[in-house]
Chain A
Amino acid sequence: MLACLCTVLWHLPAVPALNRTGDPGPGPSIQKTYDLTRYLEHQLRSLAGTYLNYLGPPFNEPDFNPPRLGAETLPRATVNLEVWRSLNDKLRLTQNYEAYSHLLCYLRGLNRQAATAELRRSLAHFCTSLQGLLGSIAGVMAALGSPLPQPLPGTEPTWAPGPAHSDFLQKMDDFWLLKELQTWLWRSAKDFNRLKKKIQPPAAAVTLHLEAHGF
């Protein structure tokens, strides 16, 4: 149901070359990525507020928790804590990269249907920022020597006209897209914080805030 034309993302332009002279390492770009996720989190709060008001109650009510159906195909941020802790750097980054690639694609689909100009503007702005985050993650992966994930033939997400999708079901999908986006940004902040700690020597103390978020 939530199918998407995503081929463009898999052919992301070449990662900008890093400055080889006096290479400060991946530290600065990890920090930049971390900052970007916080910025996007902030941007999403206002975008989601507007969008959920557009969907109308009960979607904009706190603790609204509808069945998650078509949203099955959304990348899930929530993962077992031990599993998360044990992720190696490459896998951690790959999961982030793949997740945001999918989410960006779905968001662009949302933008196409959005009825008001204001929503389209906010969504377009957010998509641009999210594209920036993807580029930033790609930069970190390149700095760590990890190749960008390439789509396997056959698993490349392409748009397929799904079964007739009712408007209400679509609203629920939209709700879960925004929700998952929120969770992913929250998780990415943790991911990049952890990466930062690993790359930098322990001289710089980094505090990790683990909030209870249904993890």
Chain B
Amino acid sequence: MELGLTDTAVISPQDPTLLIGSSLQATCSVHGDPPGATAEGLYWTLNGRRLPRELSRALNASTLALVLANLNGSRQQSGDNLVCHARDGSILAGSCLYVGLPPEKPFNISCWSKNMKDLTCRWTPGAHGETFLHTNYSLKYKLRWYGQDNTCEEYHTLTSPCSTPAVTTDPPPDVHVSRVGGLEDQLSVRWVSPPALKDFLFQAKYQIRYRVEDSVDWKVVDDVSNQTSCRLAGLKPGTVYFVQGWVAQVVDDVSNQTSCRLAGLKPGTVYFVQVRCNPFGIYGSKKAGIWSEWSHPTAASTPRSERSGPGGGACEPRGGEPSSGPVRRELKQFLGWLKKHAYCSNLSFRLYDQWRAWMQKSHKTRHQVLPDKL
């Protein structure tokens, strides 16, 4: 009959975690089954290798002690195998030693939520160095209102998202850009806040950036919190700008639209505008939320200036400027269509919008044509 391992001997400590270079004192206690079993003849092995006798000594009749100094890092991730053997070599007890170094702190932690229900977090593990051991990552989160620590349940990989209930937003679905009367250097941007945010009390961070069509350098307008408009100044007339903005809903705003007036733009220029949201002040906190994705781009053009430009033909496409293919092509098509269907001198942004709406396949875009009430 086999002797049960747990009946005959036990090693202490059981499965310890230790620092590289530290010492370990272990004991193997024989329980006396059959009664009278002694520590005599017992010996230790570590990872299959018998340890030198001078490292162990009998503490009493039934206990053999071991001292291991200056431990090396674990040979395998499952831990080093420290085994206590009977005189005949059979295994009496075992303990797994985990010898390593503590891992470094993870960094670049970022979290976001798109629907106010799920939170996804991502982080970069700290430099491994050589820990010798497996590293566990756990994500803890706390809801401000509830105030207690919760641990993330679902991990996909070590560096990857973890889903728990929780906050950003989708970008605004409808962004409209229109002219400000006949002002040749201004545009007004309006949008509707994402429907998901309608029920939540929060304020909005607000930021706009724009660039010339053929440049990659964005100009950023300073944060204007709590306001509903902004102006872009110092723009070059007759230039195409790409404008992207941050938008969010203001708590005390009656309508659920918000707007921004871009000023200082170039006359007779097509601008592309995108908007995104960053809810802040959510649940009463002062912290900003996570920026949403950019909205689908919307375009608009500033009225052509009367004093600038060669010739009066506002319909003439500007030639010779290096620009992105699709923008240019689209403009050419538009102006060609205009020549056929409208007087160029009556060119208004509304027509452009109408054309764009007509061009686009989706029904939704029809509603993007705004009356010019500014």
Q: Which of B282-312 contact A (CB under 8 A)?
A: none
Stretch at the interface among A10-18, A137-145, A161-169: A161-169
Asked if B90 is at the interface (CB within 8 A of a chain A CB), the reply is yes
Residues of B within 8 A of A56 (CB): 47, 75-76, 78-81
Among the listed B48, B77, B90, B96, which residue makes an inter-chain contact with A168, where contact means beta carbons less than 8 Å apart? B96
Q: A69-B5, A169-B5, A172-B94 are in contact. Are A57 and B15 (CB under 8 A)?
A: no
Asked if B252 is at the interface (CB within 8 A of a chain A CB), the reply is no
Q: Which of B160-217 contact A (CB under 8 A)?
A: none
Residues of B within 8 A of A169 (CB): 5-6, 94
Residues of B within 8 A of A67 (CB): 2-5, 90-91
Asked if B45 is at the interface (CB within 8 A of a chain A CB), the reply is yes
Interface size on B, residues (CB 8 A): 27
CA A58 to CA B77, docked complex, whole Å:
15
B77 pairs with A166, CB closer than 8 A:
no
CA A66 to CA B8, docked complex, whole Å:
14
CA A53 to CA B93, docked complex, whole Å:
20
Q: Which of A100-135 contact B (CB under 8 A)?
A: 115-116
- 1/0 contact string of B27-65 vs chain A (CB within 8 Å): 000000000000000000101110000000000000000
Which residue of B has the minimal Cβ distance to A163?
Answer: B6
Among the listed B3, B15, B134, which residue makes an inter-chain contact with A115, where contact means beta carbons less than 8 Å apart? B134
Interface size on A, residues (CB 8 A): 20
B95 pairs with A171, CB closer than 8 A:
no
CA A56 to CA B99, docked complex, whole Å:
14
Residues of A within 8 A of B260 (CB): none
Residues of B within 8 A of A59 (CB): 81
- 1/0 contact string of A14-55 vs chain B (CB within 8 Å): 000000000000000000000000000000000000000111
Residues of A within 8 A of B5 (CB): 67, 69, 169, 172
CA A172 to CA B15, docked complex, whole Å:
14
Q: Which of A163-184 contact B (CB under 8 A)?
A: 166-169, 171-172
A116 pairs with B91, CB closer than 8 A:
no
Residues of B within 8 A of A54 (CB): 76-78
Q: A56-B47, A58-B45 are in contact. Are A171 and B78 (CB under 8 A)?
A: yes
Closest CB in chain A relative to B13 CB, distance in Å: 11
Closest CB in chain B relative to A203 CB, distance in Å: 48
A58 pairs with B95, CB closer than 8 A:
no
Asked if B14 is at the interface (CB within 8 A of a chain A CB), the reply is yes
Closest CB in chain A relative to B105 CB, distance in Å: 21
CA A58 to CA B45, docked complex, whole Å:
9
Residues of A within 8 A of B90 (CB): 67
Residues of B within 8 A of A82 (CB): none
Which residue of A has the minimal Cβ distance to B45?
Answer: A58
Asked if A68 is at the interface (CB within 8 A of a chain B CB), the reply is yes
B96 pairs with A171, CB closer than 8 A:
yes
A115 pairs with B96, CB closer than 8 A:
no
A55 pairs with B91, CB closer than 8 A:
no
Asked if B232 is at the interface (CB within 8 A of a chain A CB), the reply is no
Asked if A61 is at the interface (CB within 8 A of a chain B CB), the reply is yes
Which residue of B has the minimal Cβ distance to A168?
Answer: B94
CA A109 to CA B280, docked complex, whole Å:
45
Asked if B273 is at the interface (CB within 8 A of a chain A CB), the reply is no
- 1/0 contact string of B1-20 vs chain A (CB within 8 Å): 01111100001001100000
CA A53 to CA B5, docked complex, whole Å:
23
A116 pairs with B76, CB closer than 8 A:
no
5 contacts between A and B (CB under 8 A): A56-B47, A58-B47, A168-B14, A168-B94, A169-B6
